A and B are shown apart, each in its own frame.
Chain A
Amino acid sequence: MRRVAACWPLGALALLAAFLLAPQRFAPLFAPLNPDGAPPIYNQGNLLALALAHLGIVCIAAVASTLVAVGLGILVTRARGAQFLPLSRTLVNFGQTFPPVAILALAVPLVGFGEKPTLIALFAYGLLPIFENTVAGLESCPAALLEAASGMGMSAGQRLWSVELPLAMPLIFEGVRLSVVISVGTATIGSTVAAKGLGEVIIAGLLSNNNAFVLQGGLATGLIAILLYEAIGLVQRRVCGAVRLD
């Protein structure tokens, strides 16, 4: 029974792939939502291409926020960078609390329509969980371990690389996971500034009062979020399988 339960992400993946590759097959399922005879399946573009574009934007933004947030987290946990902790915290908090829609509105005049403003909004929005988890992970390294590492002759860099980061890794991964899931949902608003993505499907549904489109866009986005969450968890278990702090 547990083995069956553990396989559900594969089922979700199969469902998503089937829908994106042959959406018309799902027409009977969505038809009841549009009794007025409007098209039950999104017909203004290729769903697979939109999903891949959506995924692409999220991944690029996640990689950028991870690099910056982890780098910043490392900096502020060093003795020399500790003074920047309050400032950094304020900045990433600002990125999280400032509404992504507002960032889009501000960014469009600067960088134009398309993917760029969306990337900026997702990047800023995704920093906080990764930054906070990196700081928490690095700060939770037991003092005795750090002392042992230094006492054996590791340089500051060797200590960071071979002791602190491996021990902080599970928490950093959790932060990335959270950030990516939020990002997948948030990326749908990118379609308001002409970024390719599943938001297009939802907006098209809103504009033409087509509930089937809205539901399709929402379900596909949700499945991608769940699958990314599971995929990152899988990588996390592979990378830090042995890390235990007890």
Chain B
Amino acid sequence: MIRIEQLTKRYGATSVVDEVSLVVERDSIMAIVGTSGSGKSTLLRMINRLVEPSSGRVLLNGRDTGAEPAHLLRRRIGYVIQGNGLFPHRTVAENIATVPRLLGWEEKRIGARVAELLTLLQLETGVYAHKYPHELSGGQQQRVGVARALAAEPSVLLMDEPFGALDPIIRAKAQEDLRHIRRRFGITIVLVTHDIEEAFRLGDRVAVMSRGHLLQCDRPAALLTRPADPFVTQLTGAADRALRLLSLTRAGDLADPAGSGGEAVAHAGAGEVSVAADASLRDVLADLMWQNADAAVVLDAGGRPCGRLTVAAILAQGRAR
């Protein structure tokens, strides 16, 4: 768990981060979103003390981060930056091994860890371990950057615009990877982005910053339905907030199991639309519109019907509360 208490960074008379307090729960993803110059990156960099706070403090699992030398603190915190920052003179394996080497791990343990991470990120060890960063594609470099940050099994991962340099398709894949990593390792992630869509997709909670102030920190749905500030409304997009709200709920969460019995299965036969339980309501609605249907059968991971979803129910979900 990360507890940020009244953290402030001043340069001269201007405060780039002004008395921000924030709690990131263990094993959750906190997305910090804001325009450029909002202080979001500075806030992130104060957590691992790449920027020293002017006042306030950060507690990491209850311990004040100011209590130990900054470079020792940073070895316990994973860090991913935009454009990955891989060392061009070191191979993929050497890049990933950076922090374990700093920590003095045995070579055998380092080798096993590197292989494990490469496999996790779908980079075949035999093929990629000895390549240099310039031999990889942008998406592969980004994955190696994540592997390097995770190498020493940190409990906290900080990411500064990690997917900013990727094209949309690779970006979606990288976001999917991150969700997978979180499930696999149980790790607390703080992610800075200027992309509200990305913040909503990844963040369990989203913190909105503007001009050094924290305007609101809440679940994505609450940001849409109860914005605390006009800037939050503006950032989250007033025009399509109903659709954004729909994209936050999975089909499986709203499906009506009452209709899943024999009746639904019977209906599923002739031309009935079926959707996956983990599809977002936004996608389901689009699908129903496209296929000119009023209802869909929701299928669970095993492909078995687990409920029924009507257009009316989806529309109700998108209404202001």
**Chain A residues proximal to chain B, CB less than 8 Å:** 144-145, 147-155, 158, 163, 166-167, 240, 242-246
Number of A-B residue pairs at CB separation under 8 A: 67
On chain A, the residues within 8 Å of B81 by CB distance are 144, 147-148, 151
**In the complex, which of the residues A147, A155, A166, A167 contacts B85, with contact meaning CB atoms closer than 8 Å?**
A147
User: Could you tell me the distance between the alpha carbons of A150 and B149 in the complex, rounded to whole angstroms?
Assistant: 12
A-binding segment of B67-75, B262-270, B300-308: B67-75
Cβ-defined partner of A153 (8 Å) among B75, B86, B87, B88:
B75
Count the B residues whose beta carbon is within 8 Å of the partner chain — how many?
28
B134-150 interface bits toward A, Cβ cutoff 8 Å, 1 = contact, 0 = none? 10000000000000110
Q: A150-B74, A155-B71 are in contact. Are A242 and B89 (CB under 8 A)?
A: yes
Which A residues are CB-close (under 8 A) to B98?
152, 154
Complex-state Cα separation, A150 to B72, whole angstroms:
10
Does B286 count as interface, using CB distance less than 8 angstroms?
A: no
- Is B222 an interface position by the 8 A CB rule? no
How distant is the Cα of A148 from the Cα of B99 in the complex, in angstroms? 11
> For A152, what are the chain B residues with a Cβ–Cβ distance below 8 Å?
74-75, 79, 98-99, 102, 148-149
Residue of B nearest to A151 (CB): B79
Whether B50 and A151, one on each chain, are in contact in the complex, defined by CB atoms closer than 8 angstroms, is yes
B227 within 8 A of A: no
Say whether B8 faces chain A, with CB atoms less than 8 Å apart: no
- A245 engages B102 (CB within 8 Å): no
Q: Which of A148, A163, A242 has the most CB of B within 10 A?
A: A148
Query: B87–A151 contact, CB under 8 A?
Result: no
Q: In the complex, which of the residues A145, A151, A155, A166 has the most CB atoms of chain B within 10 Å of its own CB atom?
A: A151
Q: In the complex, what's the smallest C-beta–C-beta distance from A56 to chain B, in angstroms? A: 33
Query: Which of A147, A158, A166 lies in contact with B50, CB distance below 8 A?
Result: A147
* Residues A153 and B71 in contact, CB atoms below 8 Å apart: yes
Closest to A159 in B: B71
One of B82, B85, B132 near A242 (C-beta < 8 A): B132
Interface centre among B72, B82, B88 (most CB of A within 10 A): B88
On whether A145 and B87 interact (CB within 8 A), knowing A150-B50, A151-B81, A152-B79, the answer reads yes
12 A/B residue pairs, CB under 8 Å, sorted by A: A144-B83, A144-B85, A147-B85, A148-B81, A152-B148, A167-B88, A167-B89, A240-B89, A242-B89, A243-B88, A243-B89, A244-B89
